[in-house]
């Protein structure tokens, strides 16, 4: 048997469901259901229920979902939208693509998610409330109207204080839940568990194939509890029309493909079981790696049920460790190696190294280990063994 440990497995779950998935395509071909129709509306209903949200709108990708959610919730051209630097560029692309300006607040050093205290500091130090009660960035002179907390790696951001700050300053909150299908957070304020996508004014999910719920192609969804936002996203995804050829606004071609919706519907039924397996695998890694001194494991804390889209460790030995694992056919990834404020694409924003220390430190030390539901205990033991072997060699030999 091969000792290879892939980063993820996109084949096994699809082969297990092959008959049902093929049936969706056959049915669509036989009935001519390619755009809209019962697969899309059925999936939207199922997914809204899964997220404990009132509405879900199927769209073309997670990036579409973010962009449409920001537009529908009221972000205007030239506004500032605040997010974190340690996310996938789609988060800030969506901000720029609605004509707004991305700005950053650093993350918490242990959770790698938006730090509510730093958000408060940002507002207190860099912003002011003008005569009409609007929050405005002092230096940039633009209104700060929205915040996008990213539920990175499948762990939800600390939503209670974020929503409290948002209420206080009338900020729109769009959750970037693209990595967090089914993740939960205990809201002390509401005294109950809340699902990703059910707290902010709107939320965005990606169904990119490698996500916890992945399409067999591209796909995404926006969720919201607000009827007006739901209606608006539905129009924006379909050229600004609620009635065919009557366009109330300019929108996009951003619909969820009907075959993808049908296949997502099949796969959604298995998501709780797959999430359970990810959680068992994460617990196994924790047990196997717990006694290794020079690595930090993902935080476990009360009030969070994480769904481990990624299992990310942090270590000063990251680069050598990743290479040594690859030499042993164990494939680990980097999510993400360069924080957005230091990317070439954002040179024009004028940030420099040192501006967001927690994100920068994390970027230089993070390593995503293989994580997927079908990962076996033997594979995990091999990953842990190779990590230990590498560290015992690395700590013995002098550093260059």
Ligand X SMILES: Cc1ncc(COP(=O)(O)O)c(C=O)c1O
Q: Which residues bind ligand X (CB under 6 A)?
A: 61-63, 87-88, 90-91, 150, 176, 178-179, 206, 208, 220
Closest distance of CB 89 from ligand X, Å: 8
What span, in angstroms and rounded, lies between the C-alpha atoms of 277 and 153? 16
Of residues 105, 113, 143, the one with CA closest to residue 127: 143
Nearer to ligand X, 62 or 370 (CB): 62
Closest distance of CB 274 from ligand X, Å: 17
Nearer to ligand X, 211 or 382 (CB): 211
Nearer to ligand X, 236 or 321 (CB): 236
Nearer to ligand X, 119 or 204 (CB): 204
What span, in angstroms and rounded, lies between the C-alpha atoms of 364 and 337? 7
- Grouping H, G, I as helix, E, B as strand and the rest as coil, residue 289 is helix
Of residues 323, 314, 312, 302, the one with CA closest to residue 278: 312
Closest distance of CB 159 from ligand X, Å: 16
What span, in angstroms and rounded, lies between the C-alpha atoms of 338 and 160? 29
Closest distance of CB 306 from ligand X, Å: 15
Nearer to ligand X, 39 or 87 (CB): 87
Nearer to ligand X, 359 or 379 (CB): 359
Residues whose CB is less than 8 angstroms from the CB of residue 75 and which lie 6 or more positions away in sequence, other chains included: 81, 95, 98, 100, 145, 146, 172
| Contact by Cβ (8 Å): 230, 201 | no
Nearer to ligand X, 62 or 298 (CB): 62
Closest distance of CB 307 from ligand X, Å: 13
Closest distance of CB 76 from ligand X, Å: 22
- Grouping H, G, I as helix, E, B as strand and the rest as coil, residue 35 is strand
Crossing angle between the packed helical segments 377-396 and 271-289, to the nearest 10 degrees: 30
Closest distance of CB 146 from ligand X, Å: 15
Closest distance of CB 220 from ligand X, Å: 5
| Contact by Cβ (8 Å): 206, 65 | yes
Nearer to ligand X, 178 or 375 (CB): 178
> Cβ atoms within 10 A of the Cβ of 257, count?
22
Closest distance of CB 93 from ligand X, Å: 8
| Contact by Cβ (8 Å): 107, 47 | no
Closest distance of CB 67 from ligand X, Å: 9
Which residue of the chain is nearest ligand X when measured via CB?
62
Bridge partners, 55 (sequence order): 224
b (16+ CB within 10 A) / e for 86-96: bbbbbbbbbbe
End-to-end CA distance of the chain: 37
Query: Position of tokens 């099949």?
Result: 266
| Contact by Cβ (8 Å): 260, 24 | no
> Cβ atoms within 10 A of the Cβ of 239, count?
16
Nearer to ligand X, 92 or 225 (CB): 92
DSSP state of 86: S
Nearer to ligand X, 197 or 220 (CB): 220
| Contact by Cβ (8 Å): 181, 307 | yes
């Amino acid at each position: 048997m091969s000792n290879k440990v892939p980063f993820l497995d996109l084949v096994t779950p699809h082969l297990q469901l092959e008959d049902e998935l093929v049936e969706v395509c056959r049915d669509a071909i036989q009935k001519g259901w390619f755009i809209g129709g019962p697969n899309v509306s059925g999936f939207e209903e199922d997914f809204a229920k899964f997220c404990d949200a009132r509405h879900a709108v199927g769209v073309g990708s997670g990036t579409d979902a973010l962009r449409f959610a920001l537009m529908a919730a009221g972000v205007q051209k030239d506004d500032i939208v605040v997010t974190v630097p340690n996310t996938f560029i789609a988060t800030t692309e969506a901000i720029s693509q609605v004509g707004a300006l991305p700005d950053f607040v650093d993350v918490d050093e242990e959770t790698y998610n938006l730090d509510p205290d730093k958000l408060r500091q940002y507002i207190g130090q860099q912003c002011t409330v003008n005569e009409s009660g609007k929050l405005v960035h002092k230096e940039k002179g633009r209104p700060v109207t929205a915040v996008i907390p990213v539920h990175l790696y499948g762990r939800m951001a600390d939503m209670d204080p974020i929503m409290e700050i948002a209420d206080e300053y009338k900020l729109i909150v769009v959750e970037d839940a693209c990595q967090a299908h089914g993740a939960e957070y205990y809201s002390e304020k509401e005294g109950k568990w809340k699902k990703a996508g059910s707290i902010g004014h709107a939320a965005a999910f990606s169904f990119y194939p490698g996500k916890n719920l992945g399409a067999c192609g591209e796909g995404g969804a926006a969720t919201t509890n607000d009827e007006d936002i739901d209606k608006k996203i539905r129009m924006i995804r379909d050229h600004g029309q609620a009635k065919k050829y009557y366009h109330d606004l300019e929108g996009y071609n951003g619909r969820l493909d009907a075959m993808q919706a049908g296949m997502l519907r099949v796969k959604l039924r298995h998501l709780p079981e797959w999430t359970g397996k990810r959680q068992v695998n994460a617990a196994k890694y924790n047990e196997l790696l717990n006694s290794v001194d020079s690595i930090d494991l993902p935080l476990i804390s009360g009030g969070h049920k994480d769904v481990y889209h990624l299992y990310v460790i942090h270590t000063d030995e990251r680069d050598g460790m990743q290479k040594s694992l690859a030499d042993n056919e164990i494939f680990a990834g980097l999510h993400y190696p360069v924080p957005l404020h230091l990317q070439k694409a954002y040179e024009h924003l004028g940030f420099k190294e040192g501006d967001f220390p927690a994100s920068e430190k994390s970027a230089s030390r993070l390593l995503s280990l293989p994580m997927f539901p079908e990962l076996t205990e033997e594979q995990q033991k091999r990953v842990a063994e190779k990590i230990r072997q590498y560290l015992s060699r690395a700590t013995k030999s002098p550093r260059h």
